[in-house]
Structure 1
Amino acid sequence: MKRMAFERPTEHYDQRLYQVDEQLCSLVKQRKEASNNNPGFPPLEDIAKWAEKYQLYEDQLRSIFDILRNEDDFRPQVEPIHFQKYLPVHKSVENDQCLYSVTFIRQYSNASVVNFNIDWDPDEEENSLYHRFWSLYLGEDYDCRQTGGGGTEGHISYHFIVSPPLPDDISGLELVFSETKAPFEKDSTSLQIVISIE
């Protein structure tokens, strides 16, 4: 999904807030470093206590902490440009009456696009696979972002943009797909599909 450009919502800014706002930025950075960029979410009782102590709204604080928890959502997004070629993969893994596969990777000058397919017998599947979410992990050197997908009865496909682009020789690469509890979440369920490329 392409992120919309942000426009400043108002021309007004009270310059007396400049030092306070800069201090807020410094505290956000300090918080990120102290948590090793994995802050979790404060207990709701603590948020209620802080709201009362500092005369703030609980909903406002919950929103702030939710935004701070998902910093990766705000990283600049790479949009693939200049298609170069397809890298054939043709690998699949069967798990619990579902076939998970990657047939190819599209190479662009600035990124790669991985299509992750799930196929199942719709008559055998009681719970819809449409309401599941996935993340892709290729190692610390790569940013993997799900950008959408779609499907029909018995088939669904997810698209992941990977940057920087993968090498043309992808032998030895492991594509680790983890089912997550919600879109763009880090917390995964126990279901993990590993597709190894020889």
Structure 2
Amino acid sequence: MEMRMDPPTDYYDEQLKTVDENIVASIATRQHLSHGKPGFPKVAYLERWAQQYEIPVSILHQTFSTLFRWHVVRERVQPDQFERFVPIMAAEPHGNLLALVPYLRQYNNCSVVSVQLESPQLGDGPVHVDLDIAGYECMRHAGGGSRAYWHQEFVVTPVIPDDEATSLAMIVHIESNNRMRGPRVGEPAPKPIPPTTIRFHRSSKRD
């Protein structure tokens, strides 16, 4: 589904074109320098800039809020034409949590990486999972699960070459929902998983 790009008005002052292009260039520079994780300016900074440049602080807050949600508002890539499965078979235990990346699916315009989690502490609600792969953009796709199991798919661009799939250095960030079901009779109450980072060190290709 494509986002409509209808402007709110037909009027545009062409004298602003150079200024607007500089704004776009600054946004691109900011995204590049932040490596996709820009955070959010301190309130003191926003108030100082608002006073210095005579801009309402609410406008600055809205602007940086949009930049902070870059991964949500940017155009999403939809897998187009399936080509093949590529086995990865990577597994990393972390306490009583097991993270698995069994395979990726290759499409003509992207790769889809499947991350699977197993643990008695995943809770009732959604599990927030992020994936980082150096040199690639990873966007959450489909996901779901149950009390002890969760899977999350990521659309990865550009397409991961088949011969690099088994040597990817992947980083998975996990945080479980705090809502937990009551324990079964005779069992201690489970505790939700705290924010957890798991690194898959895949230094060599699969034989």
**TM-score using structure 1 length:** 0.73
Select which of 163, 173, 176 maps to 2:171: 176
Structure 1: how far apart are the matches of 2:6 and 2:119? Answer: 46
1:192 is the counterpart of 2:187: no
Structure 2: how far apart are the matches of 1:35 and 1:151? Answer: 33
Change in 2 beyond 3 A, CA 1:130/1:118: farther
Report Cα offsets for 1:109-162 as digits up to 9, x if no partner. Answer: 2211111011112xxx2x73845433322222x222112311111111111011
1:5 is the counterpart of 2:14: no
What is the CA-CA distance between 1:11 and the residue it aligns to? 3.5
Task: Kindly indicate which of the two structures has a greater share of residues assigned to strand.
Answer: 1
Q: Is the 8 A contact 1:145 1:161 kept in 2?
A: yes
Q: What amino acid is aligned across from residue 8 of structure 2 in structure 1?
A: T
1:137 is the counterpart of 2:132: yes
Q: What amino acid is aligned across from residue 166 of structure 1 in structure 2?
A: I
How many percent of aligned residue pairs carry the same amino acid?
23
1:161 is the counterpart of 2:160: no
Structure 2: how far apart are the matches of 1:109 and 1:27? Answer: 33
**TM-score using structure 2 length:** 0.71
1:25 is the counterpart of 2:21: yes
Change in 2 beyond 3 A, CA 1:24/1:42: farther
Q: Is the 8 A contact 2:139 2:154 kept in 1?
A: yes
What is the CA-CA distance between 1:43 and the residue it aligns to? 1.9
Q: Is the 8 A contact 1:47 1:62 kept in 2?
A: yes
Structure 2, gaps ≥5 residues long: 176-194
Structure 1: how far apart are the matches of 2:10 and 2:106? Answer: 45
What is the CA-CA distance between 1:60 and the residue it aligns to? 2.0
Change in 2 beyond 3 A, CA 1:91/1:53: closer
Change in 2 beyond 3 A, CA 1:115/1:162: same
Task: Please state whether the residue corresponding to 1:25 is helix, strand or coil.
Answer: helix
Change in 2 beyond 3 A, CA 1:131/1:148: same
Computed over aligned residues only, the root mean square deviation of the Cα atoms, in angstroms, reads 3.1
Q: Is the 8 A contact 2:126 2:144 kept in 1?
A: no
Structure 2: how far apart are the matches of 1:32 and 1:166? Answer: 24
Q: Which residue of 1 aligns with 2:183?
A: none
1:56-71 to 2 correspondences below 5 Å: 56-71=55-70
What is the CA-CA distance between 1:105 and the residue it aligns to? 1.1
Structure 1, gaps ≥5 residues long: 181-188
Q: Which residue of 1 aligns with 2:105?
A: 106
Q: Which residue of 2 aligns with 1:148?
A: 142
